[in-house]
Amino acid sequence: MKKIGGILVGLLVVVGLQAMAQGPNNQKDCDVVSAKFVGENNLQNGSDQFYVCNDVEDFELSQDGDLMLVTYHDDNGNVTEKGTLKNGELHGKWISYNENGDVTQMAHYNNGKKDGIWFVWKDNGSTLLEIKYDNNELKGSHTWAIEKRQVAAAE
C-alpha cells in the first residue's frame, strides 16, 4: 500500500508540474505547482498553489524502496535540486545547485520536518550559513566567511 501511495504522490507531482497556466504578472508558460506546504516552525501548514517560471524546466522521479527520488533540471539540463520524498513528505538530504553546478544548499528533512544541520552558501559562495534544526524547530545558526571552498556533496 505504501508503494501505491508513493506512486500516487509522484503522479500528483507530475500532473501539478505539467499543468501550464498564466502565471503572476501575466507571465505565460509558467508551471502551476500544487503542493503540501509546511512553514517554518510548522505554523503555515496546508496546501497551496504556486508558479514556477523559467526556474525549473524538467524533473525526474524514480522509486527506491519507500523513497521517491526527485531530481530537478533547468532548461539547459543542469541539475538544480535533488532529494527524496517519503509518503509525500520531504525526507532525507536535499541538495540545491547553481547554474555552475556548485552546491548552494544542503538541507535535511525528517518526515517533512526540518532536521539536523543545514548549510547555505550565499554571496557567490563567500558566506556560509550553518543552521541547526531539531524536529522543525530552529536551534541556532552561525555565519562563516569562506576563505577557500572545496565541497564534495555526498550522494
Question: For the chain, what is the mean pLDDT?
Answer: 69
Give the pLDDT confidence of 46-76 residue by residue, as tens digits.
Answer: 444 444 444 444 667 777 778 888 888 888 8
| Mean pLDDT calculated for residue range 93-116 | 93
- Cβ-proximal residues to 43 (8 Å cutoff; 6+ apart), any chain: none
Q: Are the beta carbons of 87 and 62 closer than 8 angstroms? A: no
pLDDT band at 147 (very low <50, low <70, confident <90, very high): confident
3-state secondary structure of 25: helix
| Mean pLDDT calculated for residue range 121-136 | 89
For the full predicted model, state whether its pTM sits above 0.85.
no
| Residue 13 pLDDT > 70 | no
| Residue 21 pLDDT > 70 | no
Amino acid sitting at position 44: Q
Question: Tell me, what's the pLDDT at 95?
Answer: 94
| Mean pLDDT calculated for residue range 73-99 | 89
Q: How many CB atoms lie within 10 A of CB 63?
A: 12
Alpha-carbon distance 46 to 35, whole Å? 9
| Residue 127 pLDDT > 90 | no
| Mean pLDDT calculated for residue range 101-111 | 93
| Mean pLDDT calculated for residue range 87-94 | 91
Of residues 91 and 55, the one with the higher pLDDT is 91
3-state secondary structure of 154: coil
| Mean pLDDT calculated for residue range 28-50 | 43
Alpha-carbon distance 95 to 119, whole Å? 10
